[in-house]
Structure 1
Amino acid sequence: MNDFPEIQITRLSPEEEPPLALLLLADPSEAAISKYLPAAAVFVARHQGETIGVYVLSLEHGVAEILNIAVKETCQGKGIGRRLLEDATVKAKELHAEKLLIGTGNSSLGQLHLYQKSGFEITAIRKNFFLDHYPAPIFENGIQCKHMIMLEKQL
């Protein structure tokens, strides 16, 4: 089911504003987002001129990490997230990264499914990450988000 065959994924220039509303779908803390954006590259997916997806990629010591990935709510479930993950994998390989990391909440059931289908494997759990780093409780799928599940993909 590919309703968006002509998606263009491009890197934002430093002068362009990242799509904050989309980034907030994946990370509800504007403060956290503002901390990691300056040292990372932002890539956006556009369809007919509209921004429908985003991911944020960092590289440190040969390890790339997707710090944020989100798809516009009305466009979810149509393969865009998978395409963003594929693009991030290609970009990480171009940067000569040895592996690609991504983290998500214990309550993010759809994301955990997608990431594992895309070749990522669970490698660690950061206990109480969301309790310690976010001021308000986060609930998703009827589950409180407490722990960060870390996954990685060898490149």
Structure 2
Amino acid sequence: MIRIPHSAYADMSAHAANVYPYECCGYITGTADPATWTVHRCRNIQNDLHARDPRQYPRDARTAYVFSQEDMTALFHGEFEPPDARAIGFYHSHPDHSAYFSEKDRLDALTDWLDPEPGYLVLSVIKGRVEDLKWFQWGPDRETFEELTVEVL
């Protein structure tokens, strides 16, 4: 089970609703104590990439997301509060689709650049309103991502 502070849930939900019908993206930092969690809203540059090179980037931000370089730099080189904070998870939305971990989500998440590995939260946004959310975490068997039950505190 993963427990998400209501303030973090509200911030991510507002972000998803504000950018609808496009996908939002961001990350959460903090410690094992959910009271320390901070949501970092990021800029989805998928529309920029699609406009520049639609052949290489055939999808727009309605069905895909890419974090900006500035946001990724802030994640890797940022100083977070409290000082022992780390990346807890990444989040993004699925406009007018269910909250599921797509094959692309899985492939994007299969990296070894953070330890311990962060979780992945997917928000289902239907007609501009968050209807569901699901958290996926690398399973203890190290072979797949598992869906965890989410409790909003």
Same structural fold, with TM-score higher than 0.5 when normalized by the shorter chain: no
Larger helix proportion, structure 1 or 2? 1
- TM norm structure 2: 0.34
- TM norm structure 1: 0.34
